[in-house]
Structure 1
Amino acid sequence: MVTLTRPDSFAPEDLALSRRAMLLAAGYAAFDIGANAQPISTPADGLVTGWETLPGGLPAFVARPAGKGRHKTVIVVNEVFGVHEWIKDVARRFARAGYVAIAPEFFFRGDPDKTLGTLKEFPAILAIVNKAGNEQVMGDVKTTLDWAAAQSFVDAKKFAITGFCWGGAVTWMAAARFPQLKAGGAWYGRIKGAPGAENRKWPLEIAGELKAPVLGLYGALDKGIPVADVAEMQAALKGTKSDIILYPNADHGFLADYRPSYNAEAGTDAWAKLLAHFKANGV
């Protein structure tokens, strides 16, 4: 027999558990779902969306306007949780703004069974993420750019890149590597390496090599990226077309509306500024 402990009403924690279960079922990353999260759901009507397999077996989620013609394109670089539902929604947001949005699954080699979105222990997540070294990731960015340039719906003269958390650092690095990119948007990506990560370059080291202007979008409450690091990067960018906006009341992941750190005010403002930055640089 099943015993119902609260037969006459729901407690708030019941609703939180139900919401988490629904978001998990919808494909959001399990690690950091907010108990009260009500993530934005961008409709796909008028869009063409779905998975593509790029050269080398690289999977990528693509969202684009359904109409004919060539469109500006943005590469969307995921958080450490891979291409889960929130990244797909971000791609749809860009598509509704007139972009071809391509979100490559950079961790597919180390996570062939697509477990990242279900993992709840951060060390297990990092064990997969750390298999994707900088040169491998840059190779995947090049594969994405080359594939996109060959598509009939892409304007190959209008490429941008944006990324979140892990993808924010990737954005800085790609902007220093690929002249095809006209603009970048780095959302709270690590600027300097942590102890033990000295074997690779980080954004602060390539600030003077950027081939495309990058707009950094950071939160002053981010415990993993000290304000001092942001200030150091801002100083390194002085005299260039790149810049960083630091939101005083925002934490890490402030655009991610499925996470407890979501900040609607900062996220809305930063999204508008990113689109304006892309437009100002011809994308």
Structure 2
Amino acid sequence: MSIFEPDLRSLAGETRPSRRAVMVTSLATGFALAAQPIAAQTAIATDANGLTAGQVKVPTQDGAIPAYRAMPASGGPFPVVLVVQEIFGVHEHIKDVCRRLAKLGFYAVAPELYARQGDVSGMTDIQAIVRDVVAKVPDAQVLGDLDATVAFAKESGQADTARLGITGFCWGGRIVWLYAAHNPALKAGVAWYGRLAGAATPLQPKNPLDLVTALKAPVLGLYGGADPGIPVSTVDQMREACRAAGKTCDLVVYPDTPHAFNADYRPSYRPGPARDGWQRLQAWFRQHGVA
């Protein structure tokens, strides 16, 4: 397993989701420490000119969780894209992705989905992040928080939630598939190198391969052929399962490409696949009624 796509079977310390107090009330500034060192020569920085961008609070049944929102400063209502974080939480790269989407005319919002389990931004040990935080985040909690984020966007009056999309990276790539099986209002999803198979835990009881027949929206999956944590064989298996179930899915594998190839702030960044994936994301959202 890749350290960015961990097997959580032996790490989950709880047996069922429960209501918990929100621990993280503000988003981190900059990049997560565990993602250091930052490859400054390749990092993409998107300004907020012409945008309304910054932290917001999303109400949930347990209290408000922080989120980063970006949208055009005028006009609207705008089509909505939920942005689901990497394993490192909502740090600068995820915020930048929101601004990139806002520059394309979307209302982009990234809720901090570890808010009840802890702040990973200051942690330096990836295995500790997995063990102490990520393994304790129930899928049911994540899906509920994404639903709450959609409700928050709708309530703002600035978002057209009838045109709802989702995209996510690494840990968030898996969540894209889960949300596509969860929300019948979703128009389309784009999953970047999210795990498709693996051992189930009480808090993460299903993997994308288990949910193919339940998919309610078309999903584009973008994968690296040299990603040790997501074997190409599982991508092939997912492609065939979608075909057999009559689901609209497109799974793209970039040869000789590692995990996290869109993470422009890390050495794993591959400009060619990243640019191609970004173009495919836009086309997928246009094709399926998000844009």
Tell me the TM-score normalized by structure 2: 0.84
Alignment: residue pair count: 256
Structure 2, unmatched stretches of 5+, are 1-27
- Runs of 4+, deviation exceeding 6 Å: 195-198
Q: Alignment partner for residue 205 of structure 2, among 175, 192, 200?
A: 200
Q: Cα offset for 1:249?
A: 2.3
Which whole-Å CA distance do the structure 2 matches of 1:226 and 1:162 have between them? 21
Which residue does 2:98 correspond to in 1?
Answer: 91
Which of 178, 185, 191 in structure 2 is aligned with 1:180? 185
Secondary structure of 1:91's aligned partner: helix
Corresponding position: 1:129 with 2:120: no
Cα distance, 1:198 vs structure 2: 9.2
1:35 to partner: Cα distance: 6.0
Is 1:30 aligned with 2:37? no
Deviation of 1:156 after TM superposition, in Å, equals: 2.0
Q: Which residue of 2 aligns with 1:253?
A: 260
Q: Take 2:178 and 2:39, find their aligned partners in 1: how far apart are those partners?
A: 35
C-alpha change, 1:233 and 1:68, in structure 2 (3 Å) is same
Q: Is the 8 A contact 2:137 2:203 kept in 1?
A: no
Calculate the TM-score normalised by the size of structure 1: 0.87
Give the Å deviation of 1:236.
0.7
State the AA in 2 paired with 1:96: K
Q: Between Structure 1 and Structure 2, whose CA radius of gyration is higher?
A: 1
Contact 2:139–2:204 (8 Å) recurs in 1: no
Aligned AA for 1:27? G
| Letter aligned with residue 120 of structure 1 | T
- Name the structure 1 match of 2:168: 163
Of Structure 1 and Structure 2, which has the larger fraction of its residues in helix? 1
1:280 matched to 2:283? The reply is no
* Shift in Å, 1:68: 2.4
Once the 2 structures are TM-superposed, how far is the Cα of residue 123 of structure 1 from its aligned partner? 1.9
| Whole-angstrom distance in 2 between the partners of 1:84 and 1:128 | 16
Pairs within 5 Å for 1:46-65 = 46-56=50-60, 57-65=64-72
CA contact (8 A) 2:136 2:203 kept: no
Is residue 116 of structure 2 the alignment partner of residue 109 of structure 1?
yes
User: 1:65–1:99: 8 Å Cα contact kept in structure 2?
Assistant: yes
Local SS of the residue matching 1:156: strand
Q: Which runs of 5+ in 1 are unaligned?
A: 1-24
SS of equivalent to 1:40: coil
Cα contact 1:182–1:213 (8 A) shared by 2: yes
Q: Secondary structure at the match of 1:266?
A: helix
Alpha carbon RMSD of aligned pairs, Å? 1.7
Per-residue CA deviations over 1:113-156 (Å, capped at 9, x if unaligned) read x3x12222122111211221110111101111111122211112
2: CA distance, partners of 1:195 / 1:221: 24
Q: Is the 8 A contact 2:77 2:159 kept in 1?
A: yes
Q: How many angstroms apart in 2 are the aligned matches of 1:229 and 1:174?
A: 19
Secondary structure (helix, strand or coil) at the match of 1:143 reads helix
Aligned residue type for 1:90: V
User: 1:34–1:260: 8 Å Cα contact kept in structure 2?
Assistant: no
What is the percent sequence identity of the aligned residues? 45
Q: Which residue of 2 aligns with 1:118?
A: 122
Question: Which residue of the partner structure matches residue 40 of structure 1?
Answer: 44
Contact 1:163 1:170 in 2 (8 A): yes
Query: Which residue number in structure 2 is paired with residue 79 of structure 1?
Result: 86
- C-alpha separation in 2, matches of 1:210 and 1:104: 22
Q: Is the 8 A contact 2:29 2:91 kept in 1?
A: no
Q: Do the aligned partners of residues 36 and 51 (structure 1) sit closer, same or farther apart at CA in structure 2, a change above 3 Å counting?
A: closer
